[in-house]
Amino acid sequence: MAYSFPEEVLEYVFAFLSSHKDRNAVSLVCKSWYEIERWCRRRIFIGNCYAVSPQIVIRRFPEVRAVKIKGKPHFADFNLVPEGWGAYVYPWISAMVRSYPWLEEIKLKRMVVTDESLELLSKSFKNFKVLVLSSCEGFTTDGLASIAANCRNLRELDLRECEVEDLSGHWLSHFPDNFTSLVSLNMSCLGSEVSFSALERLVSRCPNLRTLRLNRAVPVEKLPNLLRRAPQLVEFGTGAYSAENQTDIFSNLVEAFSGCKHLKSLSGFWDVDPAYLPAMYYACTGITSLNLSNATVQSPDLVELIIQCPNLKCLWVLDYIEDAGLKALPSYCKDLQELRVFPSDPYGAEPNVSLTEQGLVTVSAGCPKLQSVLYFCRQMSNAALITIARNRPNLIRFRLCIIDPQAPDYLTLEPLDTGFGAIVEHCKELLRLSMSGLLTDRVFEYIGTHAKKLEMLSIAFAGDSDLGLHNVLSGCESLRKLEIMDCPFGDKALLANAAKLETMRSLWMSSCSVRRCPSSNVEVMDERGHPDSRPETCPVEKLYIYRTVAGPRVDKPNFVWTMDEDAVLRLS
């Protein structure tokens, strides 16, 4: 069949497609479109590094400029994935070094990155521009020194919530004197002090710097020096935000912040002295994002700051804000879209702050654009959840963590099934849900019936039987990621829904009752020994199932077993 358009025209049209889903859809139309598309795809997203191998990716997409790869499952954030599990980036980097010499961007999440990998990438990709490492580990500040020294065209170096072995702050001094291309620097997760004069010079000579997130070690009295040199900053993260008795600091800060007329995002605020918070007020009118989750400051001071931000869209804060503070949001921050409230004392037996379900109810009632919620609290009721659901049917992400596992409705002592049921029934666009509290199989009936757009579900200490899991797997059409801990779910639901598992990115189950595994590409993690060596009645410790075209892993540690077809037959 003759082409209706020359290839160049199709390529030009495809260039307007930025979403991966669209690109994937285009590639399925016909063979020639598949070919044209694969040669002009520049950006790749790999949601699970073990779903595909570097070789397969490179063979299909020869001209890639930007990769984003995710490694460990989400529950690794809470220490549920043992040390040494995997997600090493080195094989990817060494393969890409050979095949993508013009690679510009690498974004990684929950992967193990070594100094060796960083050095290799810094020396191999001549046009390297963007490195974003989110929740990664395995490297030291020496690796950062390689990046600083060798990446002449670097624009972004963003270390978000990484675990870095901090040998010294000397790495920053490796940026050469003629290096001026920096646009974004996020070093907030690092511990040691960098040379302040090197930092000052770096900021001075990079006129396009728009994001600067400092680490705790940068003292507050030095902030004006930096802000004065970078009045164009859009995103700024302070270091420690307190000092001993120096009267000039406050006025210097006021002057410096008022010079920054473009600030939209603020973060940092370790060790906050509330007396210094008002210094930022002049900068607050434009603020859309405020991360106060390190600010151990009480409610009145928190609220004073927050109400200076009429354009606030995203607020991350500790539960020191309390119900009283949250009440202020509808009046002063009407455009709020995302709220995250973190616990100041998650392991304490008694509540230390006056933050209850009421705070969330008032925000849901008064902030019409609220769509994304992460809320830690110690009590919840079905009535509150139903109210929230009715107030905010536009919720997209709802993650509720009631700290006491299996806590019932504190008013009626019933399970919270109807409350969460209301959430999924009213919030028809819900993409992500995390549940907690006392929950029976009923809630999973509601979820299977209503949560048709749900893509990610996190469950802990919930349900009574396999029926719960079965309802989720058979009813949630859009489900891609399911993570379960400490629920009485076993083999039956998995076996009955084996086909569903192939439509999902991954399923994680830990401390459940699974004994037999439904198919291949199943990883069993058991530090006690091979699953076959355990008594037949003994459930596996951790199960991680994911679809892959790459076959079984070659880099498994000794506590991971992949189950093959034979094993399934033997056990049954």
Partner 1 sequence: MAHENDMDLKATELRLGLPGTSDRDILKSNNKRSSNEMDNSCSTAPKAQVVGWPPVRSYRKNVLQQQQKSSDSDMLGMYVKVSMDGAPYLRKIDIKVFKNYPDLLMAVENLFKCSMGVYSERDGYINGSEYAPTYEDKDGDWMLVGDVPWDMFVISCKRLRIMKGSEAKGLGRP
Point out which residues bind partner 1 (CB under 8 A). 75, 77-80, 161, 163, 189, 270-271, 293-294, 296, 342-347, 376, 401, 403-408, 413, 434, 438, 440, 460-461, 463-464, 485-486, 488, 510-511, 513, 528, 535, 538, 541
Residue 20 vs residues 25, 53, 262: alpha-carbon distances, Å: 8, 18, 32
Alpha helices in 207-298 (DSSP H): 223-229, 247-258
Tokens representing 295 are 């600010």
User: Please, which residue, 63 or 345, has the CB nearer to partner 1?
Assistant: 345
User: Please, which residue, 200 or 414, has the CB nearer to partner 1?
Assistant: 414
User: Please, which residue, 98 or 528, has the CB nearer to partner 1?
Assistant: 528
Specify the 3-state DSSP secondary structure of 320: helix
User: Please, which residue, 203 or 438, has the CB nearer to partner 1?
Assistant: 438
User: Please, which residue, 4 or 79, has the CB nearer to partner 1?
Assistant: 79
Q: What is the 3-state secondary structure (H, E, C) of 479-541?
A: CCEEEEECCCCCHHHHHHCHHHHCCCCEEEEECCCCCCCCCCCEEEECCCCCHHHCCCCCCCC
In Å, the largest CA–CA distance within the chain is 80
CB of 139 to partner 1, least distance (A): 16
Tokens representing 79 are 């220490």
CB of 401 to partner 1, least distance (A): 6
Cβ atoms of residues 363 and 398 within 8 Å: no
User: Please, which residue, 399 or 556, has the CB nearer to partner 1?
Assistant: 399
Exposure b/e, 474-511, CB count within 10 A at least 16 = b: ebbeebbbbbbbebbbbbbbbbebeebbeebbbbbbbb
CB of 461 to partner 1, least distance (A): 8
User: Please, which residue, 333 or 494, has the CB nearer to partner 1?
Assistant: 494
Phi, psi of 158 (to 5 degrees): -125, 110
CB of 494 to partner 1, least distance (A): 18
CB of 400 to partner 1, least distance (A): 11
User: Please, which residue, 90 or 342, has the CB nearer to partner 1?
Assistant: 342
Tokens representing 478 are 């859009």
CB of 506 to partner 1, least distance (A): 17
CB of 456 to partner 1, least distance (A): 14
Cα 380–386–390 angle (5° rounding)? 135
Phi, psi of 23 (to 5 degrees): -60, -45
CB of 98 to partner 1, least distance (A): 35
Q: Say if residue 251 is exposed, middle or buried (CB neighbours under 10 Å; 0-12, 13-18, 19+).
A: exposed
CB of 87 to partner 1, least distance (A): 17
User: Please, which residue, 243 or 383, has the CB nearer to partner 1?
Assistant: 243
Query: What distance in Å separates the CA atoms of residue 523 and residue 515, rounded to the nearest whole number?
Result: 13
